[in-house]
Structure 1
Amino acid sequence: MHHTIKNVILMGTFLTITACEFSRNTPTEYFDRVALNTNQITRFGGQYFNTYLKYIKGGASTPDFNTCEKYLKNNSIATAERNVQKIKELQSTPKTKPMIDAALDLYAFVLNSYKTDHLKIAKMIDNKAPEADIEAAIIEMDNKSYDIFAQKYDNLWKLAEIYAKDNGIEVKKMPF
């Protein structure tokens, strides 16, 4: 009889464990790493280069960032790759998986563009290509990828805002 009660208790414990969602990460950690950090990639495409040119004209360059290519690689790509790693370190749960997957999809798209189209334009800027050629390359890149970027970004934030609301996280929107 005692053995049967023990099995029932163990079975009850097992059911409790599987019914609850355990995570070593807090909801705020999920939100910050998965959604909030994407603020660092909101300046995409043509906006990215406008921001870079303001940065350089403001005299903020250092030896690690004194060319557009270095800025792209040492700042933007490096930061995005660190953010991807921070996301991958999170324990995925049924409630966080859609948001995590959307963020990883967004970062994969952005990193691919940074390493191809953005890099091509960065090299054009560094090589002092004619402004009309740079502008044409930016327009071509934006036409090719900006709408996809915006869709992936919006998709993530729809999920993130629901997650934030469900977990009592206040989200303040800033105009861009």
Structure 2
Amino acid sequence: MKNRLVIVTLFIGMIAVISSCNRPSADEFFQRTVLNTNILHDFAQESFTRTLTSTIVKSENLPADPKQNNQAQQIVEAKIAYVEQTIGRIKDMTPPDEDAGAIKGKSIDLFYYVLPVYKKEYMDMAKRCDNNEDVETIEQLALAIEEDYAEGFDNLYLEVLELGKAYAEKHNLNVKFGN
């Protein structure tokens, strides 16, 4: 009987240790769920369109570099990979306290909001850039993305930031938020 009690106690203790290993500090949690959203700052913005269309510019005096045939697609693929990786990392985290659960949920919502747009609309736009299609047509696609997704993105992004500000203040995290 004593042996069973010892084994059960050790088993429960081991489970507690394992489950707490995935519990980040307040600062680590904040960095992963709130600060990581900075990668999305140019979503549904003219600046991301400029980044993609800047790959169209080719020098007439230099031979075409085969590595440059898909520069815009590589930019979008990098965003997609980062967003997917971040979603996985956030999902795997155990919130360190009660306030963190809401931030985790909103942050995941935000990343899931942008992911299909990067995969479909932005990838389509990138392919057009890599094929040296008309910049005006590409800019019209960008405008459609802004019209369809900017407001929803802004709302989710601001929710994450507001929750993040309150969380940072509560946990005395040294964070400065821009306007």
TM-score, normalising length from structure 2?
Answer: 0.75
Task: State how 1:3-152 maps to structure 2 within 5 Å.
Answer: 24-45=23-44, 46-53=46-53, 63=67, 66-73=70-77, 75-92=78-95, 93-152=97-156
Contact 2:55-2:130 at 8 Å conserved across structures? no
Number of residues paired by the alignment? 150
What's the offset of the Cα at 1:48?
1.5
**Paired AA for residue 36 in structure 2:** N
What's the offset of the Cα at 1:51?
3.1
Contact 2:56-2:129 at 8 Å conserved across structures? no
Q: Deviations over 1:66-86 (max 9, x none)?
A: 52112211x111111111122
Aligned residues with identical type, % of pairs: 24
In structure 1, the gaps of 5 or more residues are: 1-22
Change over 3 Å in CA distance of 1:48–1:62 after alignment to 2:
farther
Matching of residue 155 in structure 1 with residue 154 in structure 2: no
Q: Deviations over 1:77-105 (max 9, x none)?
A: 11111111221121034221100000000
Change over 3 Å in CA distance of 1:105–1:65 after alignment to 2:
farther
**Paired AA for residue 109 in structure 2:** D
What's the offset of the Cα at 1:167?
0.3
In structure 2, the gaps of 5 or more residues are: 1-21, 58-64
Change over 3 Å in CA distance of 1:65–1:125 after alignment to 2:
closer
Change over 3 Å in CA distance of 1:103–1:43 after alignment to 2:
same
User: In angstroms, what is the RMSD of aligned CA positions?
Assistant: 2.6
Q: Distance in 2 between matches of 1:127 and 1:149?
A: 29
Q: Distance in 2 between matches of 1:31 and 1:65?
A: 38
